[in-house]
Amino acid sequence: MIMNEFPTEAQYSIMRSLYFIGIGGTAMASVAVALSKAGHRITGSDGALYPPMSSYLAEHSIACFTGYHPENLLRTKPDIVVVGNAVSRGNPELEHALNEHMNLVSMPELVSRELIGHNRSVVITGTHGKTTTTSLTAWLFEHACLQPGFLIGGIAENFNAGCRASGKTEGGYFITEGDEYDTAYFDKRSKFLHYRPDIAVINNIEFDHADIFSSFDDIVTSFRQFITLIPSKGVLIVNGHDTAASEISGKAFCPVERFGFSEHFEWSVSDPSVSETGTSFAVARNGEMKGTVTIDQFGNHNILNTVAAIAVAFHAGIPFPVIAKGIRSFKRPKRRMEIVGEFDNGIILVDDFAHHPTAIRATLASLRQRFPDRKIIACFEPRSNTSTRNIFQKDLETCFSDADIIVIGKVHRPERYAEHERLDTGKLSSAIADSGKKVFVSGEKSVCYPEDIVQFIHQNIRENDLIILLSNGSFNGLKTLLTESFLKKR
């Protein structure tokens, strides 16, 4: 049995040994730990592992091999081999598994069968805000004692986990961060097409994942397919301000509810107010005031994330007072405006996952709202498959307006693209400098990267300044280097 000839539910219920090729991915590691806690024997491999997922796997005693070698499969003799979507033909373990006719399954199909199962499925989608919205939704269900299962693209602070099974074998809820990225090398559909939503959220739709989608229309097509999976007795909850999401929601066979800053939406926000510790706003449904909530976050995007989660919780029967109380005890996922440290002279270091121009712009705007009097030094690493290309060359020139100093890191693995396809960091630096801002760009041939960034920051930082790291990766260890350098100065 190989590729898409998946095991039956009966086979899943008795299997004990799973091997994850590419176990270091955030979702792969989280699912591996959840299934280990469910009683399965889990092993896996990856080319390289780094925190937080390496630490997470080690904490849960998951045996991981460094490097891909057929001997790993011969030694562990798994019943099922789980193939990560970063794994492709030519991987030595995958080639061995194919030659030996081992049972192969994608991670989303495994989640659908083993974790979603007979539970009601909640799927949170969108180009931005998925992790935060899914984490908050799962916490609201937990706070209401519904014992939800969940799969989140990060470590949820309230649970110290990225995935777990539902506390109920039937009739419970499983809440999934619905990624539009592809499933596996043998299944190029978006992951979220496996999750059979009863309650679905589309927060926004923008172009991303240029290695998978050739155009914005291709992404919209995947979301259209996703909508066709919602049953007629389900519900689709849509950001009413997003043109693409609103347009395709008109084809849904289920009720559609919009949310946003308009009294004409089914879920409307009004009277937002900002304090030093967060944001408060009122929420109404179909014109009926439900109450006021307070979040320890800033920016309109975080308000919209919260309202989406409120709408989902409402459809699960959770009373609004319980929802409002749950929101107050919510902790953001790691790497979402995460304060890494506060050092001498009032200097603050923040880490954030933002890497798409829209996310960078929203993150910096919310940071400026929270720290209006501080100078902000924004360090951006072009690392994702989209941000390393010149697709967003113009958008990146304008998304740093709320920063005072901008640092641009090296383009990650530039050899993947021809020069005319690659993000031009020199051109980007010049365009930002023309707007009157100070810019430092690390040269592609720099031999002391990212130490050159650390040196630049120490030459330019002043009392009470704030540094934010913007990357979907490790930024070559810049966070650790900066932390150590500030501690050393202390």
Digit-coded pLDDT (tens) for 242-265: 999 999 999 999 999 999 999 999
Q: What percent of the chain has pLDDT over 90?
A: 82
Q: What is the pLDDT of residue 226?
A: 98
Q: What is the pLDDT of residue 240?
A: 97
What confidence tier does 216 reach under pLDDT thresholds 50, 70, 90?
very high
Token pair 């030093």: residue? 276
pLDDT at 447 over 90: no
Q: What is the pLDDT of residue 444?
A: 62
Q: What is the pLDDT of residue 5?
A: 42
Closest C-alpha to 272, from 288, 295, 249, 253: 295
Span(s) in the chain for CATH 3.40.1190.10: 117-328
Token pair 């951006």: residue? 380
The domain 338-489 having CATH identifier 3.90.190.20: the answer here is: yes
Quote the CA–CA distance of 253 and 228 in Å, as a whole number. 7
- DSSP lists the bridge partners of residue 338 as 351
pLDDT at 175 over 50: yes
Q: What angle do CA 121, 125, 127 make, to 5 degrees?
A: 170
pLDDT at 100 over 60: yes
The structure tokens listed for 404 are 């005072």
When pLDDT is averaged across residues 146-154 and rounded to a whole number, the result is: 93
Closest C-alpha to 181, from 163, 194, 198, 164: 194
pLDDT of 282-323, one tens digit each? 999 999 999 999 999 999 999 999 999 999 999 999 999 999
Q: What is the pLDDT of residue 6?
A: 41
Instruction: Tell me the three state secondary structure of residue 318.
Output: coil
Quote the CA–CA distance of 130 and 121 in Å, as a whole number. 15
- Residue 191 carries which DSSP code? G
When pLDDT is averaged across residues 161-177 and rounded to a whole number, the result is: 90
Quote the CA–CA distance of 478 and 301 in Å, as a whole number. 27
Span(s) in the chain for CATH 3.90.190.20: 338-489
Instruction: Tell me the three state secondary structure of residue 99.
Output: helix
Instruction: Tell me the three state secondary structure of residue 430.
Output: helix
Higher pLDDT, 394 or 276: 394
Span(s) in the chain for CATH 3.40.50.720: 9-107
**CATH class of the structural domain 9-107:** alpha beta
Q: How many residues does the chain have?
A: 490
Quote the CA–CA distance of 73 and 465 in Å, as a whole number. 51
Q: Phi/psi at 300 (nearest 5 deg)?
A: -60, -30
Quote the CA–CA distance of 418 and 222 in Å, as a whole number. 28
Rg of the Cα atoms in the chain? 23
Quote the CA–CA distance of 173 and 123 in Å, as a whole number. 11
Third-level CATH fold of 117-328: UDP-N-acetylmuramoyl-L-alanine:D-glutamate ligase (3.40.1190)
Q: What is the pLDDT of residue 53?
A: 84
Q: What is the pLDDT of residue 154?
A: 80
The structure tokens listed for 366 are 């919310």
pLDDT of 348-378, one tens digit each? 999 998 899 999 999 999 999 999 999 999 9
Q: What is the pLDDT of residue 170?
A: 72
Q: What is the pLDDT of residue 213?
A: 92
The structure tokens listed for 155 are 């470590």
What confidence tier does 15 reach under pLDDT thresholds 50, 70, 90?
low
Q: What is the pLDDT of residue 446?
A: 66
Closest C-alpha to 205, from 223, 187, 227, 190: 223
Alpha helices (runs of H) in 265-418, residue ranges in sequence order? 300-315, 320-328, 357-370, 393-398
Residue type, 459: Q
Q: What percent of the chain has pLDDT over 70?
A: 96
- DSSP lists the bridge partners of residue 239 as 259
What confidence tier does 10 reach under pLDDT thresholds 50, 70, 90?
very low
pLDDT at 218 over 50: yes
Q: What is the pLDDT of residue 473?
A: 87
Q: What is the pLDDT of residue 16?
A: 79
Q: What is the pLDDT of residue 113?
A: 92
Q: What is the pLDDT of residue 474?
A: 87
Q: DSSP of 468-486, one letter per residue?
A: EEE-SS-GGGHHHHHHHHH
When pLDDT is averaged across residues 77-105 and rounded to a whole number, the result is: 97
The structure tokens listed for 108 are 């989303």
Q: What is the pLDDT of residue 445?
A: 63
- The answer to whether 78 touches 43, Cβ cutoff 8 Å, is yes
Q: What is the pLDDT of residue 136?
A: 97
User: Alpha-carbon dihedral of residues 420, 426, 427, 429, nearest 10 degrees?
Assistant: 150
Closest C-alpha to 410, from 467, 452, 438: 452
Mean pLDDT, the chain, whole residue set: 92
Q: What is the pLDDT of residue 101?
A: 97
What confidence tier does 52 reach under pLDDT thresholds 50, 70, 90?
confident
